[in-house]
Structure 1
């Protein structure tokens, strides 16, 4: 590890000069994530993605979709296994406003492991890569998936890569490349929250209002804390796509129907972010896509 002025090194705006210690491997991952985001090209949510081209327009296995319990196949599915999700991550972590969302690349744990998931219907072992959010506005709900025709205030995505692929770019080229966990947030009027990990992220949002700005998160944080107190034993799972260009059909989705209650005052911090055009970064969700007769499975707790 070494000391850097990370605001200068990453050439990000909107932050004050600070010298902190960040491992070179984490810096490399942040740079790669930024490069992957830029490779997607310019896009916005003015039409909720309906104007996106390429696979976004022509794909047959696109996401998000409306997840309907009565239309799902309720079958015996192995439980989803969380590995090293309870282990503290190396800190500081860096959260960035990339113009489309608040995004945080996730490093290894302090013990050097990378948190991962397997089991369920996942075609392999998937290491966590990043977490980001989709939201609406003061007037609109902003989750991407709907559950039984209902949409929620925020949807958090925890993105994982199949360990058989070296990079995210390579993984997006294969149908078994990625696995994403979708968690719904419901805005509630209570002022305080016991969701310690999420609070550490949302408390930094006022520091990343401007496009390209970033902030650091210190102290103890685990990936498992991001799940709050939701029940992870019940979930929908199906084969779909990324919900941002180029909408690669490489994702095994796991979306939990249990909803996390979170203070409205915290969620409201998302509405203040700005995109690359200096416009309010709101309603950053893609419209519901056709299921096209895909199988959607539902796991119940036995």
Structure 2
């Protein structure tokens, strides 16, 4: 169970304990994120989402899809603009195993601002809310989108909310409510990584193997560091949905074709997480959906 207070208890080796103070506003955001997740009800990936009901079954603008360069509309799209992506976030941060993914709510920056994006074909200004991951198994790739018929080992989603809406829940009720950045990871054999921000998250994964467990991340971290060294000037963008129940069709998607190489030994930590049934949390991706005539745009550099 989550039992948050203004102080977070950390256990170290032996009988040594320490308390880390977490701002009340961030705790409230974590609670709200947990409530939003629980509002979707119980679901799993046993059938890759094909057994989900409601909009997940009846929607016509569903995600993920296969992003195919030759089928995309290549037009002159404004660049995606990033604000406060290079500013350090307030710490400590909290990463949680919610039974479906490893999820981290994104707080304000240390100077009290929100990391945000606009530009491209985004219908407004969108503030970063959380980051989570979808993955496969030791024997299967697990990205949600495919790019030119290929799935990758991991797909990271950085979720943003339109500033005109107060909550994620409210935003999901509107087609301009959310914007999500999708970043692909390729597992490579190298042992070390210079992707500092991602390392800080992945190094904590062994502490959240159990359902509802959580860990804190301290030190300096920016949202921009999560993007690693990918090229952000080239991307696919289209109108779609959340990839988890209730699959609300409220998302402007931006998916980068540039793939981030990341050590397999780090990615392997995801395969050890457990879901709410104490089963291995693997292959937590939804099956590909029909485009139903939607236009997918592509911005080339």
Same fold (TM over 0.5): yes
Q: CA deviation at 1:3?
A: 4.8
Partner of 1:32: 32
- Take 1:53 and 1:227, find their aligned partners in 2: how far apart are those partners? 33
C-alpha deviations, 1:217-252, integer Å up to 9, x for none?
000000000000000000000000000000000000
Partner of 1:144: 144
2:37 aligns to what SS in structure 1? helix
- Take 1:30 and 1:3, find their aligned partners in 2: how far apart are those partners? 12
What is the RMSD of the two structures over their aligned residues, measured on CA atoms?
A: 1.1
- Take 1:133 and 1:283, find their aligned partners in 2: how far apart are those partners? 11
Structure 2 portions without partners, runs of 5+ = 11-15
Structure 1 portions without partners, runs of 5+ = 8-15
Q: CA deviation at 1:183?
A: 0.1
Equivalences for 1:1-302 in 2 at 5 Å? 3-5=6-8, 18-301=18-301
Q: CA deviation at 1:18?
A: 4.6
- Take 1:17 and 1:209, find their aligned partners in 2: how far apart are those partners? 21
- Number of residue pairs matched? 292
Q: Is the 8 A contact 1:5 1:17 kept in 2?
A: no
- Take 2:95 and 2:50, find their aligned partners in 1: how far apart are those partners? 28
Q: Is the 8 A contact 2:185 2:262 kept in 1?
A: yes
- After superposition, the Cα gap between the structure-2 partners of 1:168 and 1:3, relative to the gap in structure 1 and judged at 3 Å, is closer
Q: CA deviation at 1:62?
A: 0.1
- Take 1:92 and 1:166, find their aligned partners in 2: how far apart are those partners? 24
- Take 1:62 and 1:199, find their aligned partners in 2: how far apart are those partners? 32
- Take 1:287 and 1:117, find their aligned partners in 2: how far apart are those partners? 28
Q: CA deviation at 1:6?
A: 5.3
Partner of 2:13: none
C-alpha deviations, 1:247-286, integer Å up to 9, x for none?
0000000000000000000000000000000000000000
